[in-house]
Amino acid sequence: MDLKSLIRTIPDYPHEGIMFRDITTLFGDARGFRRTVDELVQPYAGYKIDAVAGIEARGFILGGAVAHQLSVSFIPIRKKGKLPWRTIGADYELEYGTDRVEIHEDAIAPRARILLVDDLIATGGTTAAGIELLRRTGAEVVGCSFVIELPDLNGATVLDKLGVPFHALVQFEGT
């Protein structure tokens, strides 16, 4: 099964010149979605993982399914102001400013081994903020799993500098 063929590309969304990789079509294919989850989990089979963290919003869908498959807990990493309890946060750069992601301050046990999951790695900014946030709690990020990598945007370099291995199922050239 070619997972890449199940991902829809939408030109000029959300801005002109962007090729948006829409994985809702992948989610809509039961066999494709199941295979995606299996392949996100596979590199970490046999690892001791205490929890899966997923980055808002598509990372929630994928991360929840991966956590279920691994029989571990799930930690939502949300955009600023979305969590109802006391939080800690990390800022990251956008092309037009900064944004912030947060987790509940009591979401992670000390020294927990975490797998971070999201739909896509592009520049690595959001993922790096998630890793920083998890590490500030005392957690160890054992790796990251993504459906898509956009290698031209150099997110792999960011993760390499942070010393976090990653796994992506498909690559798309360009932005």
Active site residues: 58, 95
The answer to whether 83 and 103 have CB atoms below 8 angstroms apart is: yes
Pairwise CA distance, residues 104 & 143, whole Å: 21
Pairwise CA distance, residues 47 & 39, whole Å: 15
Pairwise CA distance, residues 170 & 146, whole Å: 9
Beta bridge partners, 76, equal 54
Tokens linked to 112: 């927990």
Helix 125-136 with 155-162: angle, nearest 10 deg: 20
Sheet holding 73-79, edge to edge: 87-94, 97-104, 73-79, 51-55, 113-121, 140-149, 166-171
Pairwise CA distance, residues 107 & 109, whole Å: 7
Pairwise CA distance, residues 71 & 124, whole Å: 27
